[in-house]
Amino acid sequence: MSTKARRFELRLGDAEADQLAALGRRLGLGRSATVRASIDALDAVTDGRRPSVPLPPSAAEQAALAERVALRKELNQLRGIVNPIARRIHSGDPDAAALVDEFMEQIAGVVDRVSEGARADE
């Protein structure tokens, strides 16, 4: 298979476009990936091979992905807190120690949730 991508224009009626979108949602694929998977499946069927169409993600995989997205958001929020705290610590602010304690508690909570998620994935 060539690694060079070729662009094709594909015209679909409303019903076909809806069908393509629904199939893509069920498979967890975008439009282009759905068309490629469909071509592969038809080619395999006419060749007598078993199609290599990707299976849609399971409910457990979807839940794990949602959890990872939520954890990534929390980690990004914590990252936004680090620099201001570091600036306050270096400025000699007397309240900086309390901020560091609060920040460390937040980090410990995120680490616990990440650890629980990792254990659940095993």
**CB count in 10 Å sphere of residue 34:** 22
Q: Which residue has the higher pLDDT, 24 or 5?
A: 24
Relative orientation angle of helices 59-91 and 96-121, to the nearest 10 degrees: 160
Residue 6 or residue 3, greater confidence: 6
The pLDDT tens digits for 45-68 are 888 877 776 666 778 888 888 888
Q: Per-domain residue ranges for the chain?
A: 14-47, 59-121
CA distance 5 to 33: 13
Between these two residues, 82 and 21, which has the higher pLDDT value?
Answer: 21
**pTM of the predicted model as reported, rounded to 2 decimal places:** 0.40
Q: What percent of the chain has pLDDT over 70?
A: 90
